[in-house]
Every structure is written in C-alpha cells, then in structure tokens.
Amino acid sequence: MSLVAAAVCPHPPLLVPELAAGAASELDDLRAACRAAVAHLADASVDSLIVLGSDSTTVRRDPPFGGTLSPWGIDLPIGDPSGEQLPLSLLIGAWLAPAAGNFQSVAADADPGECARLGRKLAGEAERVGLLVLGDGSACRTEKAPGFFDPRAEAFDAAVAAALAGADAAALAAIDPAEATELLVAGRAPWQVLAGAKDRDMHGELLYDSAPYGVAYFVAKWSAEEA
C-alpha cells in the first residue's frame, strides 16, 4: 500500500472557462498544465484516486460528489449536484477529475502533525494510491491581489515551487502555518497531507508556476520511482 502518483493543482473558480467568460483565454496555459497533471494520474494505473482539498473541517465526503458554481456567479453544475455541495477546492477537483470516486477535505487550520497523519492514512488505503491535491499559493503577490502586497510572498511561493518540483516532502512539511495564514495561502494543509503521504522515493516535475491576479498557482506531478 503506497502513494504512487500525485498531481497538484490550484482551485480558482476562473479555472472553469464558462465562469471566466471573456477572460477565459488568460488561463489557458494553467488549464493545459492541470489537464496534463490529471492525465498523469490516469497513466499511473492507480487503484484509488483521492481528491484532496481544504475546507473548514477534515471530512471524508460521501457520494454523490458535485455541486454548482452558483456561489461564484454562474449556476453551472459540476459532477452530481444532487448531494451535499462540495467546498470550492473539491468542486474544482471534481471538474478536473470527473471519474474520481474519493473526496477528502482537510481543515485549513489543521496543524502539520494532523496533516501528516492524514497523509499516511490516505496512502495506506489501497495498493496503488493517487492523490489530486488542490491548493493555491499566496494571495499577496501584487497590490491588486486579494491580500494586497506582502514582500514575503514571493520568497514563500518560490520555496513551495521548489519543494513541489523536487517532490520534497520535508520542505512542504516545514511550511509555517502562521505565515501561510498571513499570506492567505489556501494550499498549506493539503500540501502537508501530500508530504505525509509520501512513503517512497518520488520524482517531481513543476508544470506551471505563475501568479495571475496576484495569486500564486502551481501545477506539479509526482511519480513513484518504481523498480
């Protein structure tokens, strides 16, 4: 039982072209990178694909999985909207990976130890586990960013990008929750769950690293170094 593949993507509502409308083309490169990362999970022949994102509580979600983007301005159904509405992170995950059958939220304020324990639990759920991890970087990269400009944001995001590129679980686990909160980082807890799930050598590749609209978005894929 082990984590054999992971994909890391952001979860802005504007990732969905119908919501972005006239600005849809601005994120075409990001969408292409997300598609490549999710395709990597399919190529890994995982037994269990788990979609992981942050919310107010740590909960394993029950089917049906889906919801609507109406809270973000357009009544567009994603997945099966007949059940409980998924939080934004998992809703975008359902849009990216419509065939996924496992959805797990982690509390945004979960401490690193909690995240590590959840990661180990998820990695042990099947012989070959794949994780689709949703999370944004800092929202403080420019004066027009949601959190205005913070001079610490660029270095914080550069460290996260390097950790994702190198499949560096130790670096992700060492992220300071307090600093991440101050920089409006939505991905800290999910990334630290991923760090806890890594139980073998893995190769990382960063597919996207940019901060449109002043928010840092990363796309990465991790692959187990199998014999």
d(CA 30, CA 46): 24
Give residue-wise pLDDT tens across range 173-215: 999 999 999 999 999 999 999 999 999 999 999 999 999 999 9
Which two three-digit tokens encode residue 90? 């998992």
Residue whose token pair is 């914080």: 156
Specify the CATH number for the domain of residue 125: 3.40.830.10
Domain count, the chain: 1
pLDDT at 203: 97
3-state DSSP assignment of residue 137 = coil
pLDDT at 60: 97
pLDDT at 31: 97
Give residue-wise pLDDT tens across range 82-115: 999 999 999 999 999 999 999 999 999 999 999 9
| 159 alpha carbon, distance to own chain's centre | 16
Pairing of strands 102-107, 59-60: antiparallel
Q: Are 219 and 8 in contact (CB under 8 A)?
A: yes
Give residue-wise pLDDT tens across range 43-87: 999 999 999 999 999 999 999 999 999 999 999 999 999 999 999
Torsion angles phi and psi, residue 81, rounded to 5? -80, 10
| Single pTM value for the model | 0.97
State which residues form the domain around 23.
Answer: 2-224
Among the listed residues 193, 23, 100, 129, the one whose alpha carbon sits nearest the alpha carbon of residue 91: 100
Give residue-wise pLDDT tens across range 9-47: 999 999 999 988 877 788 999 999 999 999 999 999 999
